Structure 1
């Protein structure tokens, strides 16, 4: 059980946090002679504005945030959302009566961008890997046509660098989400039973995490199988958990817009010794990751430390493609722990360690923990998993 009661941190952020975030981006923009950048996706929009709404779940209306090279961001949003900015630090809010398919904010966005990009005529947008534009392709083409005398440039590398290093306030939100999930796993360990289904197990844990203070748990998946599992992204299903089965549950509880992301494995009845050895191997691999993750190390160093332990344990392969990633406002963020990865770890980065191995044909074992890089190394953001696989008996 957790060593201390779960105490939720304050919601939201101080004004200075938004000022610092905006200034960091503006410094990079000025270095590259970029007049303004615009954002269309929820994490980036919220990161600079503080605007938090469930309305993003609707695909009907586009939302835009313009960050000029100097001054506060400018919101260009549907009229239905204007009042929501009373709770943010944004005071320049421009709107149109969306939905309006013939011109759903495109001309207003173009006018705003032209107004703040008259010096270099260079406008930034999220155009790189692991990004997307949350606007119809036809609308983006129309925007390019209106701004035909401007150069559109990618600012995704600046954004990933800025967002990858978390503030203390961000880390505390993630730590709380992690504590909720860790307590949820402990609860589940005491309530699992032979004969339950994957779906029943996940639902019990989901309810407990909500009770403990999670705002939501939009990511809660499971997989199970005799002596292991071969797919970790599709469940939960109505498959019953019986003797010899191994169940993995991977969850991303969310608090105030920040995620955790880690998993736990459970055995039912008599488990094949080869499966137990695989569990020991991924546990040892996580230890290796914990020991090497520190400022100055790289994502490739972390990958290699974990893979060395997995190979020692008889791993046939790692078919997940990476062994961990960034974490924060999104369930998965840049960077990834990959072979020969060259991203340098910095204090304040929140990352997952996720060693996984195929230990027999169609049999996997995966483990995941959440850490923050500190000045001296790294720190787990939740209680360590069980050193031996917990066994649920009749």
Structure 2
């Protein structure tokens, strides 16, 4: 059955310059990314692509367009014989210019029905564009962070019953996992900003200082060093003394006592790219248990990091982690986590189930080593690591 005609509510297409003033990379960089994605999908016989973005879930969209869907829903359509089409209802007061349009290189940027919770206007524009450029019965790959909103998924299926819709998130993940030279330069700047935050946080640490004071010093230093935002759902964690057991908690007005451990986790952001950096320090001289834990954690990091090598599958890390867990079991319980660094927190690489994924030069990872003990709390070290042809390079060197 043919889909009903779209309603006659106006969207708008905004003419866009080739070099928007806030673009972190040349438009050619984004076109190269799109070309790589098109090639990956073409190998699977998929001619069309729909990338979804929403509030705090715009990482894939940001990678391809630099657009951040702050307050509503957005879709990027990459269709045969067409320039990329970006359709959004993420509008402040219906004003496209004040809603991030200047942050994107995409020239065909269309406003859907204003109102961040109204999906209908967005969907009509999306389905109309798909039918204009993609033949009935063809495949349309869909990418979104975690899941498409049920309302959007249901309406897409209803209005495009004669198309083959399928998830192609992994294809885009595999493309974006390998960073370009321009991305690596930006990530190095980002890590330096995060390290400035670590230095300032440690400098603010003294008996009687509050967790909030340490956090304030760290955040101010990161922005002064070039960060332009905080990344992730919990971009800042500070825990001291017995609160370290909780690890992922916001700072409080608790005064830090001499000898206690303090855990500082920072997630600076620059142009949509986020990094994770974590350090644990003693306030003055540590207790015997705390000092033992910190020494053990340093040894774990030194043992695990060399295992991050090109052509090594992620599952190969498990043997190293098991060995280290045995070595430190008298001190505490060990966890080692590896995630990708980029515009999509925890989704930069294919999921944990893809343990056969080989590491490759150009991938940037976070290596997080966490040690927890009943008597002394929790300590963590987290660094950004670049996979190179020879092995790996730890980008974050701050002690």
Instruction: Render the CA deviation track for 1:218-262: whole Å, top value 9, x for unaligned.
Output: 411111225x82111122122221123110000011122212211
Instruction: Render the CA deviation track for 1:10-31: whole Å, top value 9, x for unaligned.
Output: 9611232112211111112222
Q: 1:116 aligns with which of 133, 139, 160?
A: 133
- What does 1:230-245 correspond to in 2, within 5 Å? 230-245=245-260
Q: What is the rounded CA distance, in whole Å, between the counterparts of 1:351 and 1:331 in structure 2?
A: 11
Residue 384 of structure 1 deviates from its aligned partner by 4.4
Q: 1:18 aligns with which of 30, 34, 45?
A: 30
Instruction: Render the CA deviation track for 1:17-57: whole Å, top value 9, x for unaligned.
Output: 11221111111222222231111212222222233x5xx33
Residues 190, 269 of structure 2: 8 Å contact kept: yes
Q: What is the rounded CA distance, in whole Å, between the counterparts of 1:369 and 1:336 in structure 2?
A: 20
Q: What is the rounded CA distance, in whole Å, between the counterparts of 1:297 and 1:155 in structure 2?
A: 24
Residues 324, 352 of structure 1: 8 Å contact kept: yes
Q: Secondary structure at the match of 1:105?
A: helix
Instruction: Render the CA deviation track for 1:271-320: whole Å, top value 9, x for unaligned.
Output: 222221221121111112222211011222234324423421225434x5
TM-score, normalised to structure 2's length?
0.83
Provide the residue aligned with 1:197 in structure 2.
210
Change (3 A) 1:143 1:180: same
Change (3 A) 1:283 1:168: same
Provide the residue aligned with 1:76 in structure 2.
87
Residues 277, 313 of structure 1: 8 Å contact kept: no
Residue 190 of structure 1 deviates from its aligned partner by 2.3
TM-score, normalised to structure 1's length?
0.84
Q: What is the rounded CA distance, in whole Å, between the counterparts of 1:35 and 1:153 in structure 2?
A: 12
Change (3 A) 1:87 1:220: closer
Q: 1:33 aligns with which of 45, 49, 52?
A: 45
Residue 117 of structure 1 deviates from its aligned partner by 2.2
Q: What is the rounded CA distance, in whole Å, between the counterparts of 1:376 and 1:102 in structure 2?
A: 49
Residues 248, 264 of structure 1: 8 Å contact kept: yes
Gaps of 5+ in 1: 1-9, 386-394
Change (3 A) 1:335 1:268: same
Change (3 A) 1:212 1:85: closer
Q: Secondary structure at the match of 2:120?
A: coil
Q: Secondary structure at the match of 1:357?
A: strand
Q: What is the rounded CA distance, in whole Å, between the counterparts of 2:61 and 2:256 in structure 1?
A: 42
RMSD: 2.7
Residue 107 of structure 1 deviates from its aligned partner by 1.0
Q: 1:155 aligns with which of 168, 171, 175?
A: 168
Q: What is the rounded CA distance, in whole Å, between the counterparts of 2:380 and 2:372 in structure 1?
A: 9
Provide the residue aligned with 2:241 in structure 1.
225
Residue 116 of structure 1 deviates from its aligned partner by 2.4
Q: Secondary structure at the match of 1:371?
A: strand
Q: Secondary structure at the match of 1:40?
A: strand
Residues 306, 355 of structure 1: 8 Å contact kept: no
Residue 382 of structure 1 deviates from its aligned partner by 2.4
Gaps of 5+ in 2: 1-21
Q: Secondary structure at the match of 1:153?
A: strand
Q: Does 1:63 align with 2:78?
A: no
- What does 1:364-375 correspond to in 2, within 5 Å? 364-375=378-389
Q: Secondary structure at the match of 1:335?
A: coil
Q: 1:101 aligns with which of 104, 118, 124?
A: 118
Q: What is the rounded CA distance, in whole Å, between the counterparts of 1:295 and 1:211 in structure 2?
A: 35
Q: What is the rounded CA distance, in whole Å, between the counterparts of 2:108 and 2:70 in structure 1?
A: 24
Provide the residue aligned with 1:250 in structure 2.
265
Residue 86 of structure 1 deviates from its aligned partner by 6.3
Q: Does 1:47 align with 2:63?
A: yes
Q: What is the rounded CA distance, in whole Å, between the counterparts of 2:104 and 2:354 in structure 1?
A: 42
Change (3 A) 1:339 1:363: farther
Q: What is the rounded CA distance, in whole Å, between the counterparts of 1:45 and 1:339 in structure 2?
A: 24
Q: Secondary structure at the match of 2:179?
A: coil
Residue 81 of structure 1 deviates from its aligned partner by 2.5
Q: Secondary structure at the match of 1:26?
A: helix
Residues 85, 91 of structure 1: 8 Å contact kept: no
Provide the residue aligned with 2:367 in structure 1.
353
Residue 175 of structure 1 deviates from its aligned partner by 1.1
Q: What is the rounded CA distance, in whole Å, between the counterparts of 1:31 and 1:340 in structure 2?
A: 20
